[in-house]
């Protein structure tokens, strides 16, 4: 397959993205040289601890980072072959909602409390489509039905809905204009376990129905296993491991990824204490030299302390940012 055809298969391509926040006289290195791709119809799981840079990356795609204090210092973000970072603010308003939509973490704060849910869906529709007021009402009611809310509740206000129902309304707003890419930023965090499962199942159904691509931002590896095709493991503003979901789950390579999976409790094994990753994530205003994971890594070498690793392809489509695989042998280097 030619490079041109390969690029046509990629809906989103982020290349060497770096983002900083300047606050209190300090520079927060939130995202550092990040590169990833999302194929058409693909669901990418974006996994990492709080503060790893997942949400910052997503807000960069939509160009809604607060400026100041944030600043994209380098990189390119191609959507259908066009660099979003070169689009004007007016052009980006046409992209948001219509081409790329986002579901935020907390449905409680995503909805306007003094406007009916129907009018909030209509607002998105009127912004991007040429429709009459009555057509907007009809489509808003249809979107509510699609996400499992009776149209008779269209004129209710957000406070009249439960948390799970609010999240369904947010999904209806996001999908109102049939976007090509949906970014879901921990969409089930504020919901109980039963409702989480319902919302995730709904998102899977709607993704297939609308033939969308999706980025699922989460720290829950169970959610990733349930709905994602590919997985990007993020640590301190870097993607440290990237590959197909099966590759990551069955043959994870990076010491951080290994530690994450080891910390998951097993119903088949009796243990007194869960495995934990020692130490804390690095201060993003003072990242360590070399590999950012080196202070917590069991396999750190002298090279890790002074040099940042590149991306090494350990098998087709499976990349690891660790010197242990620089020779693609999979053998650990001599430890310190």
Helix residue spans in 101-254 (DSSP H): 107-110, 117-128, 133-146, 163-175, 193-210, 221-227, 245-250
pLDDT at 50: 86
Mean per-residue pLDDT for 271-282? 82
* Portion of the chain with pLDDT greater than 90, in percent: 68
Nearest Cα to Cα of residue 156 among 144, 142, 173, 174:
144
Dihedral angle computed from the Cα positions of residues 311, 298, 262 and 215, in that order, rounded to the nearest 10 degrees: -30
> Structure pTM?
0.89
Model confidence band, residue 328 (pLDDT cutoffs 50, 70, 90): low
Judged against a pLDDT cut of 80, whether residue 334 lies above it is answered with no
Q: Within its chain, how far is the Cα of 217 from the centroid?
A: 3
pLDDT at 196: 85
Euclidean distance between CA atoms 167 and 111, whole angstroms? 9
Specify the 3-state DSSP secondary structure of 59: helix
What phi-psi label fits residue 55: left (phi over 0), alpha (psi between -120 and 50 degrees) or beta? alpha
Each residue's pLDDT tens digit, 29-54: 999 999 999 999 999 999 988 889 99
Tokens describing residue 167? 């999240």
pLDDT at 285: 92
CA terminus-to-terminus distance, the chain: 43
pLDDT at 7: 61
Q: How many CA atoms lie within 13 A of 291 on its CB side?
A: 27
* Cβ partners under 8 Å of residue 223, min gap 6: 45, 188, 200, 216
DSSP per residue, 254-311: SHHHHHHHHTS--SSS--SS-----S-PPPTTSPPSS-TTGGG-TT--HHHHHS----
Judged against a pLDDT cut of 50, whether residue 329 lies above it is answered with no
Each residue's pLDDT tens digit, 289-318: 999 999 999 889 999 999 999 999 999 999
Model confidence band, residue 279 (pLDDT cutoffs 50, 70, 90): confident
- DSSP category for residue 325: G
Euclidean distance between CA atoms 162 and 208, whole angstroms? 26
Euclidean distance between CA atoms 186 and 110, whole angstroms? 13
* Portion of the chain with pLDDT greater than 70, in percent: 95
Supply angle C-alpha 185, 191, 193, rounded to 5: 110
Specify the 3-state DSSP secondary structure of 85: helix
Euclidean distance between CA atoms 328 and 136, whole angstroms? 56
Each residue's pLDDT tens digit, 255-272: 999 999 888 877 777 777
pLDDT at 27: 93
Model confidence band, residue 8 (pLDDT cutoffs 50, 70, 90): low
Residue 132, number of CB atoms within 10 A of its CB:
9
- Relative orientation angle of helices 117-128 and 163-175, to the nearest 10 degrees: 20
Each residue's pLDDT tens digit, 80-115: 999 999 999 999 999 999 999 999 877 778 899 999
pLDDT at 151: 94
Mean per-residue pLDDT for 58-82? 94
Each residue's pLDDT tens digit, 189-247: 778 888 888 888 998 998 988 899 999 999 888 889 889 999 999 999 999 999 999 99
pLDDT at 308: 92
Mean per-residue pLDDT for 143-158? 95
- The average confidence (pLDDT) of the chain is 89
Strand 181-185 relative to strand 10-23, pairing: unpaired
Each residue's pLDDT tens digit, 107-140: 778 899 999 999 999 999 999 999 999 999 999 9
Judged against a pLDDT cut of 60, whether residue 25 lies above it is answered with yes
Nearest Cα to Cα of residue 104 among 197, 46, 179, 174:
174
Euclidean distance between CA atoms 130 and 133, whole angstroms? 10
Nearest Cα to Cα of residue 217 among 205, 204, 238, 234:
234
Burial of 87 (0-12, 13-18, 19+ CB in 10 A): middle
């Amino acid at each position: 397959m030619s490079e041109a055809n390969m690029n046509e298969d990629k809906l989103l391509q982020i290349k060497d993205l770096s983002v900083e926040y300047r606050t209190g006289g300090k520079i927060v290195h939130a995202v550092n040289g990040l590169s990833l791709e999302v194929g058409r119809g693909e669901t990418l799981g974006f996994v990492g601890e709080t503060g790893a840079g997942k949400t910052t990356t997503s807000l960069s795609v939509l160009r809604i980072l607060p400026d100041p204090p944030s600043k994209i210092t380098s990189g390119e973000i191609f959507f259908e072959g066009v660099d979003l970072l070169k689009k004007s603010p007016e052009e980006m308003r046409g992209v948001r909602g219509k081409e790329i939509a986002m579901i935020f973490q907390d449905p409680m704060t995503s909805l306007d409390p003094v406007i009916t849910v129907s009018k909030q869906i209509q607002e998105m529709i009127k912004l991007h489509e040429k429709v009459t007021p009555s057509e907007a009402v009809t489509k808003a009611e249809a979107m509510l039905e699609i996400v499992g809310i009776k149209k008779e509740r269209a004129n209710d206000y957000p406070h009249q809905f439960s948390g799970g129902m609010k999240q369904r309304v947010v999904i209806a707003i996001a999908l109102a204009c049939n976007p090509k890419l949906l970014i879901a930023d921990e969409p089930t965090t504020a919901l109980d376990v039963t409702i989480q499962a319902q919302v995730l199942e709904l998102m899977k159904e709607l993704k297939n129905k609308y033939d969308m691509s999706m980025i699922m931002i989460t720290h829950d590896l169970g959610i990733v296993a349930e709905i994602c095709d590919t997985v990007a493991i993020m640590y301190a503003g870097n993607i440290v491991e990237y590959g197909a979901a099966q590759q990551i789950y069955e043959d994870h390579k990076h010491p951080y990824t290994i530690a994450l999976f080891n910390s998951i409790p097993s119903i088949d094994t009796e243990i007194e204490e869960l495995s934990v990753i020692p130490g804390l994530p690095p201060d993003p205003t003072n990242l360590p030299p070399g590999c950012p994971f080196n202070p917590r890594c069991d396999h750190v070498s002298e090279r890790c302390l002074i040099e940042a690793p590149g991306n090494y392809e350990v098998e087709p489509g499976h990349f690891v940012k660790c010197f242990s695989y620089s020779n693609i042998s999979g053998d650990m280097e001599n430890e310190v």
